[in-house]
Structure 1
Amino acid sequence: MFVLHQTVALTHDIPDAGLQLGDLGAVVAIHDPENFEVEFVTASGRTQSLLMLSSSSLRAIGDQDLIAVRSLATAKH
């Protein structure tokens, strides 16, 4: 479903990781067809989270998506 280095978006919030629906990540490892390691980085390039996620937690991005920036300082943990 997803390929290595593909940019993906979250389909739900993951509060423990400080991540929200729509946050962008990159697939950095494929463990099997349904489980992926995804890295989420800040705008400056610092890793925010590195998580193993199922395909149901991710969606492909495309021309219908708009990239936005939000502050982690205001994120609820």
Structure 2
Amino acid sequence: MDFQLYTDVVLLSDVVEEHLRLGDVGTVVERHDVPGLETGYSVEFFDMLGSTIAVVTLPGSMLRAPTHGDIPFVRSEAVTI
């Protein structure tokens, strides 16, 4: 899938080292095109108050676009960059 800058995306698997979980929502902040490799995206994840909790570069296959069937979910976890 091709994602535009500054659009929301949904994480399709956990990123344990960054304390991110399947279903977390982030914003695409950069696109990485490398010949011969899958397109990658830098995605910024925020807490509910707008503070950045992680910026991670991920392959497009680990992301999907939000749908009308998605329901936001809040979880508490002490995470800082």
Both structures adopt the same fold (TM-score exceeding 0.5): yes
| Aligned residue pair count | 74
User: In 1, Cα distance between the equivalents of 2:7 and 2:15?
Assistant: 20
Per residue, is there more helix in 1 or in 2? Answer: 1
- In structure 2, what is the equivalent of residue 50 of structure 1? 55
Aligned-residue CA RMSD (Å)? 1.4
SS in 2 for 1:72: coil
- In structure 2, what is the equivalent of residue 9 of structure 1? 10
Greater Rg by CA:
2
Per residue, is there more strand in 1 or in 2? Answer: 1
4+ runs deviating over 2 angstroms: none
Unaligned stretches of 5+ residues in structure 2 = none
- TM-score relative to the length of structure 2: 0.85
Q: Is 1:29 aligned to 2:30, yes or no? A: yes
User: How far did 1:29 drift?
Assistant: 0.7
